[in-house]
């Protein structure tokens, strides 16, 4: 294994994390919060560790094979989580490092599990960073690395180890261009969701963090009531975008180049949509006696089906109180997950 190349790449990724931490730092400055210093210290540590790894690991051979690709991905996530957790500890908002590491790993892996008991007491800067880890982890920071660095044909092994979904194929001949297209689609879709949420009256900060959680299908919220805190319009917007981010990103590229017939021939897409529609229909009928309203039943069932099948984890209702049939359907959807090539989890459609 080309160990120097592995550590050199990990160093570059940790350096990139320092740049990413600037965004929550700006948020903290805007709100005048004390956690500014936590971000500054963590940025400094990221730069020292990143430059240190790149300086001591200068590879003569820069060829990357499959084993190097998998090693880079594994070590990069561990390094980013280890450093990223420091912000919570230094700020004192999550005082114990193990808890902070858990929260950060949950964010970067878009798992969405949390140890925070009262999320509404956290500072804006920490809430932003917490949700931003979802956005970074959703598409994968290594895809971004491939988009901005000089890459060779061998770097496809990194993308295969990192890109969402069990399969990966080049959209265009050059790996670097493929990574750029994937991230452009990801960024544009996130921006569109932010705009739609703003149109529904959701504050800018809330729109950003919930769009990050939707895009990465992670689901960190900033309200105790999760998305149930917001209007029905905002709930429908997030429902639709959760489903969209659960679809294969290749389909969006095909739409961009106007290959509509190829999109319509996607068996995976139709299977995904069929599972979603059938699940929504069955749960709507099952919970109708509880709510005595067809519109409310279909809204709640649509949101939870979208949230569960994409493994996002947002909620608008306490579905633990739903009938056994509805809970059983949701349990099965957790395992199925979204489409290959999406940011969703599960074993994939």
Q: pLDDT digits over 29-73, tens only?
A: 999 999 999 999 999 999 999 999 988 888 777 677 677 777 888
Q: How confident is the model at residue 127 (pLDDT cuts 50, 70, 90)?
A: very high
Q: Compute CA distances 32 → 11, 70, 204, 275, 280, whole Å.
A: 31, 41, 17, 47, 44
Q: How many CA atoms lie within 13 A of 306 on its CB side?
A: 25
What pLDDT was estimated at residue 121? 92
Q: What distance in Å separates the CA atoms of residue 249 and residue 182, rounded to the nearest whole number?
A: 7
How far is it, in rounded angstroms, from Cα 82 to Cα 191?
29
Exposed e or buried b for every residue in 86-125, given b needs 16+ CB within 10 A?
bbbbbbebbeeeebbbbbbbbbbbbbbebebeebeebbbb
CB 67 within 8 A of CB 158: no
> How many H helices and E strands in the chain?
17, 0
Q: What are phi and psi of 311, to 5 degrees?
A: 60, 30
3-class SS of residue 94: coil
pLDDT at residue 328, as a whole number: 96
3-state secondary structure of 325: helix
Q: What is the mean pLDDT of the chain?
A: 87
b/e burial code for range 158-169 (CB count within 10 A of at least 16 → b): bbbbbbbbeebe
The pLDDT of residue 166 is above 50 = no
| Contact of 333 with 308, CB cutoff 8 Å | yes
Burial of 327: CB neighbours in 10 Å, binned 0-12, 13-18, 19+: middle
pLDDT grade, residue 153 (50/70/90)?
Answer: very low
What are 283-300's pLDDT values in tens digits?
999 999 999 999 999 999
pLDDT for 137? 86
How far CA 115 is from CA of 35, 97, 138, 325, in Å, comes to 19, 12, 20, 29
273-284 mean pLDDT: 97
**Which among 227, 225, 229, 228 has a CA at the least distance from the CA of 211?**
227
CB atoms within 10 A of CB 267: 8
User: Is the pLDDT score of 161 beyond 70?
Assistant: no
Reply yes or no on whether the pLDDT at 271 is more than 50. Answer: yes
Rounded mean pLDDT, 252-274: 91
Per-residue DSSP letter, 320: G
Query: What mean pLDDT comes out for the span 120-131?
Result: 96
pTM here is 0.89
Taken in order 103, 226, 119, 243, is the CA torsion positive or negative? positive
Predicted pLDDT of residue 57: 82
**36 or 142, which is more confident:** 36
pLDDT at 71: 84
Residue 152 has pLDDT above 60, yes or no: no
287: DSSP letter: H
């Amino acid at each position: 294994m080309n160990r120097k190349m592995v550590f050199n790449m990990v160093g570059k990724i940790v350096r990139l994390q320092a740049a990413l931490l600037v965004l929550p730092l700006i948020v903290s400055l805007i709100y005048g919060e004390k956690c500014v210093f936590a971000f500054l210290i963590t940025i400094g540590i990221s730069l020292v560790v990143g430059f240190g790894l790149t300086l001591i690991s200068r590879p003569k051979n820069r060829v990357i094979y499959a084993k190097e690709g998998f090693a880079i991905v594994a070590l990069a996530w561990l390094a980013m989580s280890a450093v990223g957790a420091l912000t919570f500890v230094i700020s004192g908002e999550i005082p114990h490092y193990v808890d902070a590491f858990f929260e950060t790993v949950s964010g970067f892996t878009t798992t969405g599990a949390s140890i925070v008991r009262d999320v509404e007491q956290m500072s804006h800067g920490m809430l932003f960073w917490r949700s931003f880890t979802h956005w970074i982890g959703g598409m994968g920071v290594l895809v971004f690395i491939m988009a901005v660095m000089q890459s060779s044909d061998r770097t496809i092994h990194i993308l295969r180890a990192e890109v969402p979904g069990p399969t990966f194929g080049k959209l265009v001949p050059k790996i670097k261009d493929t990574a750029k297209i994937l991230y452009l689609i990801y960024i544009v879709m996130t921006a569109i969701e932010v705009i739609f949420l703003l149109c529904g009256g959701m504050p800018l900060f809330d729109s950003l963090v919930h769009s990050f959680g939707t895009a990465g299908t992670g689901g960190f919220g900033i309200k105790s009531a999760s998305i149930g805190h917001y209007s029905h319009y905002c709930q429908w917007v997030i429902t639709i975008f959760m489903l969209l981010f659960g679809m294969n990103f290749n389909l969006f590229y095909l739409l961009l180049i106007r290959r509509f017939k190829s999109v319509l021939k996607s068996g995976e897409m139709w299977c995904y949509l069929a599972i979603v529609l059938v699940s929504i229909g069955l749960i709507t009928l099952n919970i109708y006696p509880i709510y005595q309203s067809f519109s409310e039943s279909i809204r709640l069932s649509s949101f939870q089906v979208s949230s569960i099948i994409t493994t996002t984890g947002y909620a608008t209702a306490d579905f633990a109180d739903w009938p056994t049939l509805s809970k059983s359907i949701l349990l099965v959807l957790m395992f199925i997950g979204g489409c290959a090539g999406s940011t969703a989890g599960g074993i994939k459609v």
